[in-house]
Chains A and B, each alone.
Chain A
Amino acid sequence: MSPFVFLFGMALLSFGVRNVKILQPLSIVVVIAAFGVSLMHTATPLVGFETPSSFILFELVLFVVTIATLLHLEQTIAITQTLFLVATALLVLESNTLVSFVIAFESLSIVSFILVSFIRTKKEAQGAIKMFISGSVATAIIVLGVALYLLEGHSLLEAVSLEVKGFGSVGIWLILFGVFYKLTIVPMHTWAADSYAEISPANSAILSGIAKTVVFVATFKTFAPFLEKNTTFSEPILLVLALVTITLGNFLALFSKEITKILSYSSIAHAGYMLLAFVSVKSAYAQNALLYMAIAYIFMQTALFLLVDKLSDSKGELYLEDLKALGKKDKLSALFFSVQLFSLAGIPLLAGFLAKAVMVYALVDVNLVFVALFVLLNSALSVGYYASIVRYFYFEDATKENKINPISLKVYFAQAIFLAGTLFFGVFAGVVFEF
C-alpha cells in the first residue's frame, strides 16, 4: 500500500472521530505507519505516481514534520485538514507525469483553500481571499499552459517532453509561472506577503512550511530535465527571478515589525534560494542542493510559524515588542525560537547553513561565481533581522506586561522534534547526499 492511502484513509476516517484526545494519537500512529511503509520501499505505486529513491528521504522528513505539526493542533477540524493536505502533498511529490502533476497540484490548491476557509476574524478573511484570488489566477495560467502544450501534439501522460515544439515550450513556461504563484516567486509573491501574515499562523505553517516546500521539490522533479535542456534561455530568466526574490524578501523583512510578517518575507526570500537550484540545474549538486534546502526549510519554517501560533494572543498578533525578555520568561521557547531563526539566517551546525552552502556551491559549480557572492552577501545581511529578533529575547528587559501564552509540554516535545531535525541535518550532511 502506498503511504498516500494511509494518510487519505485516516483523513476520511477522522470525520468520524470527534474527540481530539483520540484523533490526535490515532493520526500520529497512522503517519508513523506511513513513515514505515515509505522507509521500507514496499509501497506499490499508483499509476502516474512514483517516488524515485533519491526523494524518499524528503518524504520521510515530510512525515516527521507532519507528526510534529499534528502535536501542535488542538481541534479535530485542523487535524482533518492537515491530513488531507499532507496526503495531497504526497501526491504532488510522487507525480511523475505532467497530467498527474497538474491534477495533484490543483488538488493541493483546493485543499489549501479549504484550510484557510476556517475563518475567525476579518483579518483572516482578508488573507484567505487574497490567497484564493491569486490561486485562481494561477490555475487559469496553468490551464492555458497545458492547452498550448497539448496543441503541439505532446502527450500529458508522460513526463515533460525534452523536445518541446513551438508553442509547447511557451506552454511549459506558462505552467511554470502558474506554479511560481504558489512558490511565491517575485513578482508573483504579493499575495503571500499578506496572506501568510493574516491567516492564522498555524495555517501559515502548513502552507508556507509544508505545502510550498513539497511543491518546490515536485516542480524540480518534473521540470528539471526540461530546464536542463534549455539552460541558455532558462538560466538568465530564472536567475533574475531568484535574485530579485531573495533581495526583495530580505529587504522587506528588515523593515517589518510583526513577527508573522517577517516570517512571510523570509519565506519569500527562501523561495528565491530554492529557485537557485533551477538556475544551476546543470550542476550535479543542484538536486541535492534543492533537497537539502527543502529539508532544512520545512523544519525551520513550520516550527517557527507553529511556535508563533502558540505564543500569540487570541487575536493572533505577535509583535517584536511582545517577545521582550522571552529568554527569561520561557527559556525553552526562546531557545527553540532562536535556534530556528539562526538556522534561517544560515548559521553553521544548523541545517540552514549547509543547505545554503550546497545551494551556493551549485552556483559556483556552473561558474556563476559573482552571483554566488551576491547571494552570500544577501544571506549575510539577512542576519540583521534574524539576529535582531533574538536580541529581543535576551538583550531587552520586559517593559510592559507582555502577553505570552504558556506553552504545554506536548508542544515543547513537538518543537524538540523540529529542533532535532534542524540540528541533525546541520551536522550529518551525508544523509542527504548518500540516501
Chain B
Amino acid sequence: MSYVALIFAPLVFSGFLYLFTKKSPLAKYIVLGYFVFLFVETLFLYLQLPQNGYLMLGKFLEVKEFGFILTLEIDRLSSVMLLLTSLLLILVTLSSWSMQKESAYFSLLLFFSGAIFGVFMSTNLMWFFIFWELTLIPMYFLVGIWGGDGRVYAALKFFLYTHVASMFILLAFFLIFKQTATFDMTQIQESMLVTPTLIWWLLFVGFAVKMPLFPFHTWLPDAHVEASAPISVLLAGVLLKMGAYAMIRFVILMLPQEAHKYAFVLLGAGILSLLYAGVMALYETHLKKMVAYSSISHMGLVAIGMATLSYEGLSAALFEMIGHAFIIAPLFLIAGFFHYKTQSWQMQDLGGIMQKAPYISALFVLAGLGALGLPATMGFVGEITIFLSALDTYGAWVAFIAFGAMIGSGYIIWTLRRVIYGPMSQKVQESNFSISWVEFFALAVFGIAIVAFGVYPQALFDAINEVFSAYNLGGAM
C-alpha cells in the first residue's frame, strides 16, 4: 500500500460516504473501523522509525519547476502527533455516537483525518500548507452545522480568522522558496535564508493564531463554545496541536537563531495567554467558555515551554500538549453532556450534579484536577517540567507561571464547587443523567490516560525525549 492513500483515500471516500449512506447507520461503523486501522498503522510506522531523522514514505506528484513535490516523510515529532491524532479521532468518533445527520458528520470526520494526516506527514512546505488549509473545510462545516445558536457566526469567524493568518505563513514559505530554491523542509537551513527575521515573524504570527496565543486568540472562545462537544475536542486536541506542532517545527527548529533572538516574544505571548485566559476563565459563568479559556491558558504554558529553547523545555511542552489534549477533552465532553441534559450552560443553573451522576462527575473532577495540575495527573507533570526548565532559562520570570497556576486552581476549584458540589439546583433535579456506554467508555479512556501518564510519565517521556535529541538548537541560552 502506498502511504499517500492515508491522505487521499479518506478525502475521496468521504464524498461517497456522504452521498451513499444517507439512511443507514453504516457510516459511523465504517469511520470507526478506519480510525482504528489508522491508529494501528501509525503505531506500526512509529516502530519502524529510525533513531534520528526521517522515515521516507514516498514522493508523489513532482513538479520540478516549482519545487512542488508531495514528499511524505515522518520523524519522531510528527509520529507522536500522528499517534495522538489517530487516538483522539477514535475517541471523538465514540463520543459522537448518537450525533444527528450522521452520514454527513462522519464523512466530514473522515475528510478531516485525511487532511490532518497530510499536515503531519508531508515535508514539502507547499503540500504542508495545502493540507493545513484543507483542515479548515471540514471544521467549518462541523462547527457550522452541528453547533449551538451562534454557530454560523462562529464558523465564519473561525474560517476567516485562521485563513487570513495562514496567508502570512504562505508568504513566508514563498520567501523561503525564493531564497533557497526548495520547498523541502528537511533541506532548508537557516543560513541559506536572506531575510530570516521577516520569515520568522511571518511564521510566528501565522502559527500563533492557530495555537492560539494572546492577542490572536479571539476566534477560539467563539468556535469552542458554539461547536458541539466532540468538535470542541477536535479543535482543542488536534487543531491547536497542529499550531503548536508547526510552531516547534518551523519557528524553533527550522530557525533556531532567530528563535533565540526573539524567544522573549514567544515567552511574553505565552505568559500573557496564561494569565489573560486564566483571568477570563475566573470571571466566566458559562461552563463551556470557562473550559475554552482554560484551554487557551494551557496553550500559553506550552508556549512558555517552547520559549525556553532547551531540550527539556521542548520535551515538557510536547508532554503538556499531549496532556492538554487528554485533560481538556473530557472537560468539554462532560460540559457538553451537562448542557445536553439540563439545557443550560450557566454555572448557577447547575450544582449538585455529584449526587445525581456520581461517575461522570468524578471524571469531571479528575479532569479538572488534572487541569489545575494536581500531582499524579498529567497536568502536574507537564506544569512542573515546564516550570523547572523555564526556571533554568529565565530565572525570576517563572513567578508569572506560578501566578498562572494559582489562577488556574482558582477557577477550577470554584467551578467544581459551583457545578459538581453544592446544593442541587432545580434544573439538575429535573434532569436525568443517563449516558450510553459507548460515550462513557470514551470518557473513561481519557480518565485512565490522565492518571496513568501522571503516575508514570516516564513511559511518555521515553518517546518524547528522543524527539528533540536529533536537533541542534543552536546551543543553550
Binding site for B on A (CB under 8 A): 285, 288, 331-332, 335, 342, 347-349, 353, 357-358, 360-361, 364-365, 369, 372-373, 376-377, 379-381, 383-384, 387-388, 391, 394-396, 427-430, 433-434
Contact = CB atoms under 8 A, between A and B. Distances in A.
B160 A387 contact: yes
A174 to B, nearest CB: 35
Contacts of B171: 360, 364, 369, 372-373, 376
B178 A364 contact: yes
A380 B166 contact: yes
Interface string B264-289: 00000000000000000000000000
A430 B137 CA distance: 25
Contact of A428 (B61, B151, B177): B61
Given A349-B130, A387-B140, 6 more contacts: A342-B137, A348-B129, A376-B167, A380-B160, A433-B66, A434-B65
A348 B130 contact: yes
Nearest to A384: B160
Interface in B367-384: none
Nearest to B164: A380
A430 B61 contact: yes
B144 interface: yes
A348 B131 contact: yes
A353 B126 CA distance: 11
A373 B167 contact: yes
Interface of B: 11, 15, 18-19, 61-66, 68, 126, 129-131, 133-134, 136-137, 140-141, 144-145, 151-152, 155-156, 159-160, 163-164, 166-168, 170-171, 174-175, 177-178, 198
Interface centre among A360, A365, A387 (most CB of B within 10 A): A387
A360 B171 CA distance: 9
A381 B165 CA distance: 11
Interface centre among B63, B136, B141, B168 (most CB of A within 10 A): B63
Contacts of A349: 11, 130, 134
A348 B122 CA distance: 15
A342 B140 CA distance: 12
Contact of A427 (B61, B166, B198): B61
Contacts of B170: 357, 360, 376
A364 B175 contact: yes
Contact of B126 (A357, A377, A434): A357
Contact of A369 (B137, B144, B175): B175
Interface centre among A372, A383, A395 (most CB of B within 10 A): A395
Contacts of A331: 18-19
A300 to B, nearest CB: 16
A319 B174 CA distance: 39
A60 B318 CA distance: 51
A368 to B, nearest CB: 11
Contacts of A376: 167, 170-171
A332 B167 CA distance: 31
Contacts of A394: 141, 144-145
B61 A383 contact: no
Given A391-B156, A394-B145, A433-B66, A361 B133 contact: no
A372 B174 contact: yes
A347 B61 contact: no
